[in-house]
Amino acid sequence: MAPTTTVQTLTLEAAQAAVAACEAKARSIGVPMNIAVVDHATHLLHFARMDGAKITSISIAIDKAFTAAGHRIGTHKYKEAVWPGGAAFGIWNSNGNRFTTIGGGLPVVGSNGAILGAIGCSTGTPAQDQEVSQAGIDAVQKLLKGDGPKSKL
């Protein structure tokens, strides 16, 4: 058994590409966003607040990315489970109250199924936030497939 392991994670370059794609999508739908990208260990890699994005949504975007990376699924997946009596009721109280169940946080999944990081967006509706996050995921997936600019992920 090896005493150490190597873990793939997003680079700053990949995070910047994701944010650029998110910004373009946000502009196309007319909703300025707060956009956060975290690495596999939930640490913030890159953040952007577009002009007009809600100040109160800054921490929400960061927490969406934190939750998606740390729990390895999109934040929208909790929608039905968090109501009183639901299997995940009260989960938002975990992790120093950073765990969020509001849609808009998506994990970045590598080709081997490992979580490389996550993207969280906030200012619009949960569906708009998720749509913008998905644009960032798509940009990173292009890089992973070698379809985008040369990058080390």
Structural domain spans, the chain: 12-145
Question: In this structure, what token pair is assigned to residue 136?
Answer: 């960032």
pTM: 0.89
Question: In this structure, what token pair is assigned to residue 77?
Answer: 């997946």
Q: What pLDDT digit, counting tens, does each position of 18-54 carry? A: 999 999 999 999 999 999 999 999 999 999 999 999 9
**Other CB atoms within 10 Å distance of the CB of residue 146:** 9
DSSP letter at 10?
-
pLDDT at 121 over 50: yes
- The fold of 12-145 is Beta-Lactamase (3.30.450)
